[in-house]
């Protein structure tokens, strides 16, 4: 079945939350290597196919892999130990467009078409957030820039859960199954928490080697 054309969508920014410690992984998630590249580079490369503006949010004192020819701006989360909601706050403060799609740095299988579809779902609301098995996915979701004030207010009260934005702003919940036309296996939602996860996504990121020629291959005729 042919993939549908990507929906028309207003310009949007991309925010990568790169501050994860990767406790179970054994290293910062942004630095973790899969198929010869860092998770940050894989994720940023996929996001760059969908947007012209990428902001990478680091935690205070974090050292990130160098851009290596990629174009992104780095901002620092100013609220220590406040989790991804603080990263969303910092990212929304620096984006160039009115709309932004937030992703975690450990999503190297991100499908650009799915990113665009999530952005399109936010066309007349403030937040568009996928649900998988009824559970919100705030780290692969779209937010309007003016949601920063709502995020800041939540953080000021001690709230740390990004999903609370669903109740505080005009929102749309997207059943993840609706996104399958843009990512049939929903691999975009696959993240990396353990060394086993890292090895599994690395195998998927490496393209298969072409089969070796045999004596009966049709190139040049059989011999």
Which residue, chain included where needed, has tokens 């998770």? 39
What pLDDT, on the 0 to 100 scale, is given for residue 25?
87
Residues 124, 56, 176: CA angle, nearest 5 degrees? 45
> In this structure, what token pair is assigned to residue 44?
């940023």
pLDDT digits (tens, 9 = 90+) for 55-114: 999 998 898 998 888 899 999 998 878 899 999 999 999 999 999 999 999 999 999 999
Alpha helix positions (H), 76-192: 84-92, 112-121, 148-156, 165-168
| Alpha-carbon gap, residue 26 to 8, rounded angstroms | 41
pLDDT below 70 — which residues of the chain? 1-8, 207-223
- Residue ranges and CATH numbers for the domains of the chain are 13-205 (3.90.550.10)
């Amino acid at each position: 079945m042919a993939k549908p054309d990507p929906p028309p969508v207003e310009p949007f920014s991309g925010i990568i939350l790169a501050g994860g410690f990767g406790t179970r992984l054994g290293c910062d998630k942004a630095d973790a290597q899969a198929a010869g590249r860092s998770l940050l580079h894989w994720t940023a490369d996929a996001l760059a196919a969908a947007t012209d503006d990428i902001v990478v949010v680091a935690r205070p004192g974090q050292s990130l892999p160098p851009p290596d020819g990629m174009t992104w701006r780095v901002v620092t989360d100013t609220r220590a130990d406040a989790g991804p909601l603080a990263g969303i706050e910092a990212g929304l403060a620096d984006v160039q467009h009115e709309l932004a799609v937030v992703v975690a740095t450990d999503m190297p299988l991100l499908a650009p078409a799915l990113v665009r579809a999530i952005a399109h779902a936010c066309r007349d609301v403030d937040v568009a957030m996928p649900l998988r098995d009824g559970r919100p996915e705030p780290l692969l979701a779209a937010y309007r820039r003016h949601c920063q004030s709502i995020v800041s207010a939540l953080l000021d009260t001690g709230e740390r859960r990004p999903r609370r934005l669903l109740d505080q702003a005009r929102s749309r919940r997207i059943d993840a199954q609706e996104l399958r036309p843009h990512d049939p296996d929903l691999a975009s939602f696959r993240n990396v928490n353990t060394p086993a996860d890292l090895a599994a996504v690395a195998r998927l990121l490496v393209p298969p080697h072409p089969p070796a020629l045999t004596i009966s291959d049709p190139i040049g005729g059989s011999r």
